[in-house]
Structure 1
Amino acid sequence: MFYWTLKYILLGPLLRLIYRPKVEGVEHLPASGAAILASNHLSFSDSIFIPLVTSRRVTFIAKQEYFTGKGIKGWFMRQFFTAAGCIPVDRTGGRAAQAAIDTGLRVLREGHVFGIYPEGTRSPDGRLYRGKTGVARMALESGAPVIPIAMINTDDIQPIGHRMWRIRQVHMRIGAPLDFSRYQGMAGERFIERAITDEIMYELMQLSGREYIDRYAQRGAAPTPAPAPATTAAAA
């Protein structure tokens, strides 16, 4: 109940008024059934704007620390992330990735929408980095289509290292659903999961116009100068 109140009464109308979301390809979002929304990750605000423009509830995972803070700030963060549809996952230790996959599969098997950032962390410099194969594992085990979503300018709205948001029109592009049913029964096959993940990242590169870097992004890495957005790199 709080999710819908936050979206349609408390916060959503204000965000729509200020940031005037421009969304291309909204017709690609399924009206029912399980679906995986796979997006590039430029800003904390991505997890706000994606649910804002979708008619269905979107569930994300969030690091457990967001739910265990102390004092007024900790209470506010816990209430906000719970209301925003986030599920806490312990991202430390060897089972962190599996915990995230298990959570996503539970949401998908209930016929809901699960949001994921295949890069695993926010881009340190705005470029698109190599995707982790958890998204492929979930697609194979759930049979859900993958909807690529490109965040175009949220790093301009909330630059790295800035807590305050700038007032800009947010821009997003949603691609056609990707169907991987041809690989049914191949979950756990390393080369298949890598091929699926690379296909998803290629679509995100095409939609976003961001340069693709064939290595994993490092959480907390210092931003480095990036060349102008390009669409000719190969996500191999």
Structure 2
Amino acid sequence: MFYWLMKRVFVGPLLHLVYRPWVRGAEHVPASGGAILASNHLAVIDSFFLPLVLDRELVFIGKQEYFTGSGVKGRMTAGFMRGVGTIPVDRGGGKASEAALRTGLRRLEEGGLFGIYPEGTRSPDGRLYRGKTGIARLALESGAPVVPIAMVGTDVAQPIGRRIPKVMRIGVVIGEPLDFSRYRGMENDRFILRAVTDEIMYAIMSLSGQEYVDVYAATQKARIAAGHPAAAGEEPGAAAAAPGGRPVPDVQVPVPPQEQDEPSVG
């Protein structure tokens, strides 16, 4: 109930009015049944705008820190995250991350939509980073289709360090579902997990038009924090690369549709 109140009555209408989000490919989200929505991650507001353009309820996992803040702001944030069904995850890995994935598996078995950011954290510079294999495990264990998604413009509206997004159009591009049933029962094979993850990241790259970097986003963030330059070949504008050594797709960053061609969202 809280989810739909926020979307239909309180937050949703305001976001529609101010940011005028556009969506392309909404028909690719299954009308029923469990599905994994795998998105690039450019800004905190990704978790607001993606659910906004869908007709079905979408639940994400979120970093543990959202649930442990102190003071009025911390309690409000934690309350909001719980109210919209966000599942806390300890990004340090181990048993806590395993528990979060198991919770996602139950969500899929119940026929719901489960959102995940395969990069594991926000991109530090707008590029697409190496996916973590947890999403592949989830896909193979659940048998659910994976729907690739590209968020467009959220990093420009809300760059790292900015709390209130600037007013501009936000886009969501949704690709055709990916079926990995051919790998069912192979969720403990690390090579299969990497291949599946790379296929998902390639699909996201093909939708978003982002430059790809074959390192983890968390690793790049740590390098930036330490003041270390990127390794050779990883600087912005370096030789093009794509997940799994595939050919680099010939795509551009999507742009908003013309007003007359624009589908309604929400």
Normalised by the shorter chain, which TM-score bucket?
over 0.9
Residue in structure 2 matched with residue 194 of structure 1 by the alignment: 194
Larger Rg: 2
Mapped pair 1:25 → 2:25? yes
Instruction: State the partner residue of 1:58.
Output: 58
171-180 or 68-77, which moves further after superposition?
68-77
CA distance in structure 2 between the partners assigned to 1:216 and 1:210 by the alignment: 15
SS of 2:30's partner is coil
Determine whether 1:123 maps to 2:131.
no
* TM norm structure 1: 0.93
Aligned to 1:176: 176
Q: Distance in 1 between matches of 2:164 and 2:51?
A: 20
In 1, the alpha carbon distance for the partners of 2:109 and 2:93 equals 26
- The residue type paired with residue 3 of structure 1 is Y
Q: What do you get for the CA RMSD once the two structures are aligned?
A: 1.9
The alpha-carbon deviation at position 170 of structure 1 amounts to: 0.3
Alignment-mate amino acid for residue 119 of structure 1: E
Q: Percent identity?
A: 62
Q: C-alpha separation between the residues in 1 aligned to 2:66 and 2:97? A: 18
Cα deviation, residue 93, structure 1: 5.3
| 1:146 corresponds to 2:146 | yes
Trace 1:97-112 onto structure 2 (pairs within 5 A).
97-112=97-112
Q: CA deviation at 1:218?
A: 1.6
Once the two structures are superposed, residues 131-160 of structure 1 have per-residue CA deviations (whole angstroms, 9 ceiling, x without a partner) of 001100000000000000001210001011
The offset of 1:211, in angstroms, is 0.6
- Normalised to the residue count of structure 2, the TM-score between the two structures is 0.83
- Aligned-residue offset at 1:114: 0.4
CA distance 1:234–1:71, change in 2 (3 Å): closer
Q: CA deviation at 1:92?
A: 3.4
Is structure 2 residue 247 aligned with structure 1 residue 234? no
Report the Cα offset of residue 84 of structure 1.
2.4
Q: How many residues are aligned here? A: 234
Moved over 4 A (4+): none
Contact between 2:119 and 2:216, CA under 8 Å: does it hold in 1?
A: yes
SS at match of 2:217: coil
Q: Give distance in 1, aligned partners of 2:57 and 2:93.
A: 29
Q: Report the alpha carbon displacement of residue 171 of structure 1 after superposing the two structures with TM.
A: 1.0
C-alpha contact (below 8 Å) 1:35/1:108 kept by paired residues:
yes
Deviation of residue 88 (structure 1)? 1.9
* Aligned equivalents of 2:207, 2:189: Cα separation in 1: 27
